[in-house]
Structures are given as C-alpha cells and as structure tokens.
Structure 1
Amino acid sequence: MAPTAAVRDRIERLCRSATDPLTLYRDVVPVLGRAVPSDLWCGLLLDPATVLNTGGYHDEGLPLEVLPRLLELEVGADDVNQLPALARDRSGVGTIHRRTRGRPELSARYRDVMLPAGMGPELRAVLRNRGRPWGAVVFFRETGAPDFTDAELEFVAAVAPDIAAAVRRTLLVSEITHRDVEEGPGMAVLRVDGLRIDVELASRAARALMEAMPDSRIDGVPVGVVMLVSRLVAAGGRRQSARVRLRTGRWMSVQLDVLQPAGQEGCERLSLVIEPVAPYELAEVIAEAYGLTAREREVARLVVAGNRNPEVAAALSISLTTVQDHLKKVFAKLGVGSRYELTARMFFDQYLPRQLSRQPVGGDGWYLPARLPR
C-alpha cells in the first residue's frame, strides 16, 4: 500500500489542476484507492440545496440492473448511511457495517442491492465545502471482504475537503467555460410501469438535453431522471424538481409532474420539462461556489441590482464602511475589480457569449444592462 502522505500529496495536486468534475473523480479516486482499496466505486455530483444526486462518474460502480432498486431506496426509504443524513453528520463519512453495529442485514440497501451485486462492505463520504454538499464518493468491497478500517475512514475524511473544493470549483469552471449550445425548454412524456420507465414522447430538445446529462442510463433514461421519478412516487405524486448539470457544464432545471394517474393498465404518465436555469436562480449556486458568506451574498445581490453603497447600507442596516469591507471581500473572492465585472461574473458570464459579455464599451469596459432582477 502506498504511504498515505504520498497519496494525499498526489490527490492535492490533482485537485489543484482539475478543470472538470467527472475527470476529477476518474483521476483522483484510483489514487485514493492506493490507501483505501475497493473493488467498485462511483463519484456523485450533488445539488447543494437538495442533496439530490444529479449525475456523476459510474463507470466503475454497481451494475446497471441493481440501480432501479438502489434509487428507489435512496429516495423512498429510511435506510442506513443515506446521503442526506451523511451531509448533516459531523464527519460526513460512514459505512453500513458501522451504522448497523455489525449487522448490515438490517439495511435494505445491503440486502436488495449490495448482496445481489456481489458486494459487502460499503463506505460513503459526502464532499462538503463551506458546509454545503457538492459531491460524494462511494466505495464497495466484495462479499466476505473486511469492513473499512478506522484509519481508512479517517484518511477519506482528511482528503474529502480537498476533493470537495475541487468539485465545487470545477463545476463553476465548466459552467463559465461552456456556453449555450442547447435549445430549450425540452418536453417529454414518461410512461412509468412499476420500476420500468420509458420515454413515450419527447421533443427534439428534450432528447438532446437528456443525452447531455452526465450519467448512466437505465433503459435509455438518465439515472438522475429515474431518481427524480422515484422521488415523485415516494412523495405520493407531488411535483418534483431539481437542478442538473449537463456534460457541457450548463445548469438545467428538471421538473416532473403527474400527467395521467395510473389507470386500469396499471401505469401512469409523467410530464418532464427541462429548461435552462434562469440567471437569478443560478446566482445562489454561483455565490456558494465562490464561497460568499450569507452577508456577502446579500451585499452582492443588492449591488448587482443597481444599488449604490449608501442604499445597500440602509437596506441591511449596517454602516457604509461595513458595506465597503464586504464588497472588497466579494471582489477578491470572485476575482473582479468593479460592480460591472461582479454583475457579469454572477449572471451574464454564465449565459451570454464571451464576445458579448466581455465586449468593451465605454469607460467601464463592460456591456451590461443597468438593472437585474432582485
């Protein structure tokens, strides 16, 4: 086994140089495996607001035939070591064996997914940066293998912050680098019959957008969409939505609702709408990615809405000096030097072509509307 110091050093260097989250997982996790051996693994991307799995790297993970049951348990059952609970846990790292005190058979995931796939021990780690979950890594060992040791859990917990920061940063980098190439919104009708989901009707845009989702497929449907369907079923048919990042780096809003309840034929039809996340909706994600505090986000929101410093001070009941201090920190974190650049970075850099959003006009050198939605 490689010395843990050398493994950690290599992971840190890979994290610093990464520019894409899926490539990050593909490069980093095998290195981590030198210190924490496993037989299968996967890297997940999480929506920091909902902790919902929005895609990831699954090429080295569980076989596709067990994924429908896995997704059903993830959103519709109170099982052991689930991601939302881990996201609230102090360490953010755990195994099924430890959480069940050595009785993994108490976990439905262990009984219905792990054993049929030939797996036994499972280690999960939520990747948190500034308190928010941006991803997760899951390691599996074959049936009969020993559980992950305390030292292995501690090592994963130690490197998790570096990987989490890289995931957050690469999500942001890819969002800025890739520009709008998809058309939307996309609309589709899904036919759900038990655990089987079929795309019955779909617009050209919907098919293209689903194809661009960075995930494995179950009968041609992205795992992220399958998971959202499972979540809707578990919620008794209540409308569900999530943010999903495409392979291009573009963030989309996925909305699912019941179109036709189950009838005599035993299946129901759901409406699926995929559309670009509006600039002001994505601003919160961008602010989180850049590590702005709650107060800094408030200041930034008021500034990009066109308010001057005295107006920001009055709105937040703070001094003008405090506003200036917060704004200076916001500028430093986002790497900008003016209000116009701040607005472009938080909104228009994500949507307008580079040649437009950074076309110099006038003294400030930025072409931007005067005001944005609050």
Structure 2
Amino acid sequence: MTDQRRAVLSAAEQALNAGDLFSRVSAGLRRLVPFHSAVWTAADPETGLITAPMLVENVGSGEGCYAYWESELLEENIVPFRELARATVPAAGLRAATGGLPARSARFRRLLLGQGVHDELRAVLRIGGRPWGLVSLFRTTDAFRPDEIALMAGLSRPLAACLRGFARPPESASRTDAPAPGLILFDASGEAMSANDEARQHIALLPKGPSFPTALGLKLPIWVVGTAFQARAVGEGRAHHGNARVRIRTTEGRWLACHASCLTGPGGSPGPVALVIEPAAPADLAVLVAEAYGLTSRELQITQLIARGMNTSEIAAALFISPHTVRDHLKAVFAKARVSSRGELVGRLFAEHYWPALPGRVPR
C-alpha cells in the first residue's frame, strides 16, 4: 500500500458514519489530489442509484445539484456512473476519457463548462461487483493525471468496504409506528404535482441533504428526485436495464424503499411518474443486510430459512447439503452477526431491522 493510500484510509478508519467518512476522506484526499469542488454520495448497491448521505462541496446552488443528476440519468454522457460501475477500472478522468475533448459530454457542455470546471474525476466505490458510493471531483485548472486517477481507483474497494459496514442497521431499532405508503406524482416535465400526507411524513424522516422546493410546498430530497429521474429514463427508453428503486435510511435508523415507474400517456407516449415511498419490506433489505454483515449467498439462504423456523435437518434437505455443512455455515453467520444463538440471529437481522414498523408481526 502506498503512503498516499495509507493516509486516506487512516482517515476513513476514524469515521463514525458514512457522512463523516465522506468528510474525512475528502479532506485527506484534497491534499494529495487537489480539487476545487466535489460530490460524495452513497449508492444503493443493487441499483446504483444515489441515496443518503451525500456531501456536496463548493458545487453551488441546489439547482445545480438537481441539474447534475438530471443530466446523469437523462442525457447521453461520457463515463456515466452506470458504466463506470462495470468497468475494469472504477475511476476515470473526463479529459482522459475524451482524448482532451470534454465537450463530447453533454454534462460538460451544459453544466460544467459554465461553472469554470476544467476536468472531472469520477469514481465508483464498489466491492464484490456492487456500488456503495459515487464520487465526483472537479478541478478548475489542469487535467487529472493518470497517477491521480489510479489512486482514486485504488481507494474504490477499501472505501466501499467502509460504506458497506456503515449500512449495517443499528442493533436497537426504533419501534415507533411508521406511516403507510406515500405517493408522489410527477408530471411529464418532472414537476411534482400531487402528494399524499403519508409521503410528507416519510420525507420528514429523511436525513438532511440537497433538496428542492415544489409547488406543493414540499421540499424533495435529491434521492427521491433521482429515483423519479430514473423512472423517466426507463419510460423514455434511455435506460435499457436497471430499475427505479432505492433504499434510504431515515434519521431513526430504519430503512425506507423508494420506487417509481413511468405511466403511459396518450398514444403510448411516456406520461407522469408515480413514486411510492414506504417502509422497506424483507425482500427490499435481504441483500442489503446480507452484504452489510458480509454474508455469502449461501449464508443468507440459511439465515432466511432459520427465520422461517426450520431446523438443521430441514435446512439441509431443502438446500441438498449435509447437516454438518449447515452447522459450519451457521457458525460463520453467528461470528459475522456477533450473536450466539438462532434467536439472537433472527432478532438481529430480521425482527430488529425488517419489521420495526409493523407492530405485532413476529417472525417464526
């Protein structure tokens, strides 16, 4: 490990949460890779869409942030995050990627150039093929050098591992009731045109971050707006894969699922977007919790069967493995979840995190 990487990761190890991680790493990285402004955001590991928290440094007004993510999801750009997430190297400089012609990117022409940006270095923080964070660094003079891009790429996996750990739900979740599903409708131009009271209640529980006023008197966080953008992209045929779905953690430590779809307008044209925000169901959180605790797919299977009340022999028969193998997997799960019994395991991964908002529902 180079001294540069070690310095940045040392700062990351002191972080208390994802937001603190972004602040510490950004400050440490700025001394090694100078930049004028930056955007650091968590990402949903299944869809790659932005989620809380987000750190925006010297980017300007909220409208600029709105336009940045609108361009990312609805325009043709060079090295979009969705492609960078699958690339061999998870970091790229805009000028390097365009052969010194950044104006090939709609994002640069429409937004960055007018803000005095000379180059953008973006990276996906990923581990195991899943993106946990997205980073954009902006420089007003000089292009990002190959060694600077390589440094950012080398930080991708270790920083993603930190973010994955912070995604782990708290050991004692709030048991207060949560509102029923909320609904927000956006017109064909992307303006919010109606919302129910439940949506307002859910949004009030979301952490602070870039948000945008609407004619409804409701400020919508960028994570909600971004999900609506993705639904529009799918409806307009701009996104050929992926869905408009993201998990967002509330200030109470619980998880909400935000998902949107583009309705059909007259003549089959894309119409309004309907967005639902509601307490996350077990299916919404299974992969997220498994990844946060470092469970393998087999360990997650066994844990889910335990939550259904199955004993070792029944699990072995269902998965076509030996009881001894089940016990070995279960031992590993206990160590990762820091529990010593099946009851503790179900309480830690399921009762506390999957159903805190559904009083009276008890897992078998």
Question: What's the TM-score, normalizing by structure 2?
Answer: 0.85
2:38 to 32, 38, 41: 41
Q: 1:15 Cα shift?
A: 2.7
AA matched with 1:50? T
Residue 20 of structure 1 aligns with which residue?
A: 17
> Are 2:199 and 2:277, in contact at CA under 8 Å, matched by a contact in 1?
yes
AA matched with 2:80? Q
| Partner SS state of residue 119, structure 1 | coil
Range with bigger deviation, 83-92 or 36-45? 83-92
CA change 1:59–1:180 in 2 (3 A) is farther
AA matched with 2:260? L
Residue 231 of structure 1 aligns with which residue?
A: 230
1: CA distance, partners of 2:46 / 2:17:
21
Residue 293 of structure 2 aligns with which residue?
A: 290
AA matched with 1:213? L
CA change 1:105–1:180 in 2 (3 A) is farther
Q: 1:177 Cα shift?
A: 5.2
Q: 1:126 Cα shift?
A: 0.9
Does residue 1:82 correspond to 2:80, yes or no?
yes
2: CA distance, partners of 1:27 / 1:208:
32
RMSD (Å) for aligned C-alpha atoms: 3.0
> Are 1:180 and 1:351, in contact at CA under 8 Å, matched by a contact in 2?
no
| Partner SS state of residue 208, structure 1 | helix
Q: List aligned pairs for 1:344-355, cutoff 5 A.
A: 344-350=347-353
1: CA distance, partners of 2:17 / 2:297:
27
Q: List aligned pairs for 1:153-232, cutoff 5 A.
A: 153-173=149-169, 175-176=170-171, 178-181=173-176, 183-192=178-187, 194=189, 197-198=191-192, 200-203=194-197, 205-214=198-207, 215-219=209-213, 220-232=219-231
AA matched with 1:212? L
CA change 1:188–1:17 in 2 (3 A) is same
AA matched with 2:28? V
Residue 53 of structure 2 aligns with which residue?
A: 56
CA change 1:262–1:270 in 2 (3 A) is farther
1: CA distance, partners of 2:262 / 2:177:
26
Q: 1:141 Cα shift?
A: 0.8
AA matched with 2:77? D
1: CA distance, partners of 2:244 / 2:47:
11
AA matched with 1:162? P
Q: State the percentage of identical aligned residues.
A: 33
Q: 1:254 Cα shift?
A: 1.4
> Are 1:45 and 1:134, in contact at CA under 8 Å, matched by a contact in 2?
yes
Range with bigger deviation, 33-42 or 308-317? 308-317
- Which runs of 5 or more residues in structure 2 are unaligned? 214-218, 238-242
Does residue 1:244 correspond to 2:248, yes or no?
yes
> Are 1:44 and 1:56, in contact at CA under 8 Å, matched by a contact in 2?
yes
Does residue 1:341 correspond to 2:344, yes or no?
yes
1: CA distance, partners of 2:173 / 2:33:
34
Does residue 1:100 correspond to 2:98, yes or no?
yes
Q: 1:347 Cα shift?
A: 0.6
Instruction: Deviation per CA, 1:207-246: give whole Å up to 9, x if none.
Output: 2322333330122221112222222222227994332222
- Which runs of 5 or more residues in structure 1 are unaligned? 358-367
Question: What's the TM-score, normalizing by structure 1?
Answer: 0.83
| Partner SS state of residue 288, structure 1 | helix
| Partner SS state of residue 59, structure 2 | coil
1: CA distance, partners of 2:286 / 2:88:
28
